[in-house]
Structure 1
Amino acid sequence: MSGRVVVVTGAFGALGSAVAWAAAEEGARVALIDFAATPPAGLIEACGPDAFAQGGVDLTDPAATQAAVDAVAERFGGIDVLLNIAGGFRWETLEGGSPDSWRRLFGMNVESTANASRAAIPHLRRSAAGRIVNVGADGAVKAATGMGAYAAAKAGVHKLTEALAEELKADGVTVNAVLPSIIDTPANRADMPDADFAAWVKPADLAAVMLFLASEKAGAVTGALVPVTGRV
Structure 2
Amino acid sequence: MTQRFANKVVLITGGSSGIGAATAKRLAAEGGMAVICGRRQQPLEEVVAEIRAQGGKADWVIADVSDEAAVNAAVAETVKRHGRLDILINNAATVVWAMIEGSSTADWNACLQGSLSSVYFGTRAVLPQMKKQGGGAIVNISSVCGLLGSPGMGAYGAAKAGMISFSQVAALEGAADNIRVNVVIPGIVMTPPTAAVMADEKAVTASARAVPLRRIGKPEELAAAILFLASDDASYITGTTLTVDGGKTCELNTGAADFS
Query: Do residues 12 (structure 1) and 26 (structure 2) align?
Result: no
Deviation (angstroms), 1:139: 1.5
Query: Do residues 195 (structure 1) and 199 (structure 2) align?
Result: no
Q: What's 2:58 paired with?
A: 51
Instruction: Judge which range, 43-52 or 13-22, deviates more.
Output: 43-52
Please, which of 104, 124, 143 is the counterpart of residue 149 of structure 2? 143
Q: What's 2:161 paired with?
A: 155
Deviation (angstroms), 1:37: 3.2
What do residues 15-38 of structure 1 show as CA deviations (whole Å, max 9, x unaligned)? 211111111011101111112232
Q: What's 1:220 paired with?
A: 236
Cα pair distance change 1:112/1:64, threshold 3 Å: same
Give the 3-state SS of the residue equivalent to 1:93 in structure 2. Answer: coil
Q: What's 1:60 paired with?
A: 66
Q: Please, what TM-score do these two structures have when normalized by structure 2? A: 0.84
| Distance of 1:12 and 1:173 partners within structure 2 | 26
Matching of residues 22-101 of structure 1 within 5 Å: 22-39=26-43, 42-48=46-52, 50-55=57-62, 57-101=63-107
Q: What's 1:173 paired with?
A: 179
What one-letter code is carried by the residue in structure 2 that aligns with 1:24? A
Matching of residues 83-122 of structure 1 within 5 Å: 83-122=89-128
Query: Which runs of 5 or more residues in structure 1 are unaligned?
Result: none
Instruction: Judge which range, 121-130 or 89-98, deviates more.
Output: 121-130
| Distance of 1:54 and 1:103 partners within structure 2 | 25
| Distance of 1:89 and 1:63 partners within structure 2 | 21
Query: Which runs of 5 or more residues in structure 2 are unaligned?
Result: 209-213, 249-260
Contact 1:58 1:64 in 2 (8 A): yes
Contact 1:137 1:179 in 2 (8 A): yes
Cα pair distance change 1:188/1:171, threshold 3 Å: same
| Distance of 1:230 and 1:221 partners within structure 2 | 22
Query: Do residues 124 (structure 1) and 133 (structure 2) align?
Result: no
Deviation (angstroms), 1:145: 1.3
Q: What's 2:25 paired with?
A: 21
| Distance of 1:67 and 1:41 partners within structure 2 | 19
What one-letter code is carried by the residue in structure 2 that aligns with 1:12? S
| Distance of 2:22 and 2:155 partners within structure 1 | 26
| Distance of 2:143 and 2:114 partners within structure 1 | 14
Identity %: 33
- Count of residue correspondences: 231
Deviation (angstroms), 1:115: 0.7
| Distance of 1:165 and 1:80 partners within structure 2 | 15
Deviation (angstroms), 1:13: 2.6
Deviation (angstroms), 1:128: 4.7
- Alignment root-mean-square deviation, CA: 1.6
What one-letter code is carried by the residue in structure 2 that aligns with 1:229? D
Larger Rg: 2
